[in-house]
Structure 1
């Protein structure tokens, strides 16, 4: 039953995101056995052509409600096409409301997907292939019940 639900949810997500003109790049990586090991630091590579555009970068997290914490600490490293580091930062992503324990994001049953704004109004100075590396920074290794992580790069919407 879960398998059919997962297929249905993936198809619906694909349908909803395929019509998104702001999206420049989006990829999610399933983590082996639903656990994120510290030495498993996925690298996401995306192409930037328009250096006049301002971009927002989001982190995607798929998690199971059996996850033991309300938050997830992740570190990013963003590299330019010439491999110079543009930025690095530790992020706290809230997966559940700290007071109520209510899961954040979209989901049903016991699996939720959350998309969190990580870097806003990013200007890329060069055209080319950028890479963003994500590392989990929790005190548990491996970190169970984190099923997938990903990155979304989108054209920033004009600020009012």
Structure 2
């Protein structure tokens, strides 16, 4: 029985390692009392190279206090030369019945959300991604003071997986 448990543990660890072999950068910001409308999250990273394409993801960890079916974000990426690209993004966070999407056990769910795909960082230097939430109550104009239920928010920069022939 111990051998079987050890086998599964080793298999699980190998799976985790292989899942992250494409991961080149990862950073998270944690919230103890929700995400305030005044909190702009900043992620700074060096361009890994200027040839390889990369995928950028946002990663959220939410709990049952997250009361919305979606998540609106305003994201801005700044290039070393000063150029900026801004996006307003919407992501589905829950099924129509209210159950949170994502992976995980219990009341905490992690979701990996596409931000940019096949990005080639043509300039050497430091890039910065700024993110803030743009959530409002239904029918209201004023943004939420604090978005509850968000435990962590992060970004992943991964090499693009090449299709196998």
The TM-score normalised by the length of structure 2 is 0.80
String of CA shifts for 1:11-43, please: whole Å, max 9, x gaps. x99x9258622111011110132x111111110
* Aligned counterpart for 2:99 among listed residues 93, 99, 102: 102
**Higher strand share goes to which structure?**
1
Q: Give the length in aligned residue pairs.
A: 145
**What corresponds to 1:9 in structure 2?**
none
Unaligned runs of 5+ in 2: 1-11, 137-143
CA root-mean-square deviation: 2.1
Aligned to 1:16, the other structure's residue is in SS state helix
**In the alignment, which residue of structure 2 is the partner of 1:131?**
128
Q: Which consecutive segments of 4 or more residues in structure 1 shift more than 3 A?
A: none
**Residue number in structure 1 paired with 2:60:** 61
Determine if contact 1:62/1:149 at 8 Å carries over to the other structure: yes
TM superposition shift of 1:159: 5.2
Structure-to-structure mapping, 1:17-36, within 5 angstroms: 20-33=20-33, 35-36=34-35
For 1:146 and 1:25, the matched residues in 2 are separated by: 21
Distance 1:149 1:29 in 2: 5
C-alpha spacing 1:105/1:54, structure 2 compared with 1 (3 Å): same
